Amino acid sequence: MLKKSVFKTKKWLYLDIVTTMHHKEICKLAAKLSASQPGSSPFLCAYKRACSQVEEKFTDRERQKYRIMAKKWSEKKLPPRMQQQYVHRNF
């Protein structure tokens, strides 16, 4: 007898949306701030600072948009492109 796997959707937070939507920009800035390759220890230490610097440039409207997206993605299905990325990264 096969068991059905239960897939629970992730609870998306505001910063999850920011890092998802601006991943390339954040990685580029973290590499510049750390003067290191992505994945290295200095890069990982600089990642949060890079995320904060990118987020500081947002307008109030952008912040509100990402908060709404976080709520929507947590309560409903992700957009198809995001579903593919989520599955690819996590499985």
Q: What is the DSSP string of 6-26?
A: P-PPP---HHHHHHHHTHHHH
Q: Please say whether the beta carbons of 36 and 27 come within 8 A.
A: no
Residues 6+ apart with CB under 8 A from 72: none
Locus of tokens 């003067």: 35
Residue 68 lies in a domain: yes
Residue 51 lies in a domain: yes
Residue pLDDT, tens place only, 33-49: 999 999 999 999 999 99
Residue 90 lies in a domain: no
Q: Which domain holds residue 57?
A: 24-79
Q: How many domains does the chain have?
A: 1
- Rounded to the nearest integer, the mean pLDDT of the chain is 85
Q: Is residue 63 part of a domain?
A: yes
Question: Is residue 49 assigned to a domain?
Answer: yes
Cα–Cα distance, 12 to 63 (Å, whole number): 14
pTM for this predicted structure: 0.74
